[in-house]
Amino acid sequence: MRAAPQTEAVEYARRLAARTMRTWALMEREELVTAIVAELVANAVRHAGTALELRLLRGAGRVRVEVRDRAAQLPRLTVPGPLDESHRGLFIVDRFATSWGADPVTGGKVVWAEVSI
């Protein structure tokens, strides 16, 4: 999926992820994957502010979520305080994903997360 950096991209990406997980007959992981997709796309919209691309890949024993944007700055995990209303996105990804990271690529970065299936 390719999208402009608009808040509507988050809901569109979430629906696409849910539909894909159902197509792959992985409903037991649908909630985890859609939450990760929503957080990564929201972060790209909010922090990168550039066009973005979402990819969902199914591999041996895993589903990989990749969000590519055109900003060079890599994300940083912060632990939010109990009253913080922001900075929870990567914290959620870190809790739900088996592993996650960010890789610089030509013209931006790819932030990825994997969920075991």
Query: Mean pLDDT throughout 82-104?
Result: 88
CA 47 vs CA 6, 21, 61, 69: distances in Å: 11, 27, 31, 10
CA 33/CA 31 separation, integer angstroms:
6
What pLDDT does residue 109 have?
98
Task: Determine the average pLDDT of the residues in 32-42.
Answer: 97
Q: Report pLDDT for 35.
A: 97
The pLDDT tens digits for 64-75 are 999 999 999 999
Contact yes or no for 25/53 (Cβ under 8 A) = no
Give the integer Cα–Cα distance in Å for 55 and 78: 25
Tokens standing for 117?
């299936």
* E strand or H helix that includes residue 42: helix 30-43
pLDDT of residue 62: 98
What is the pLDDT, as a whole number, of residue 105?
97
- Count of H helices and E strands in the chain? 3, 5
Average pLDDT over residues 94-107: 97
pLDDT of residue 21: 98
Rg (CA), the chain: 13
Q: Are 62 and 47 in contact (CB under 8 A)?
A: no
Model pTM? 0.93
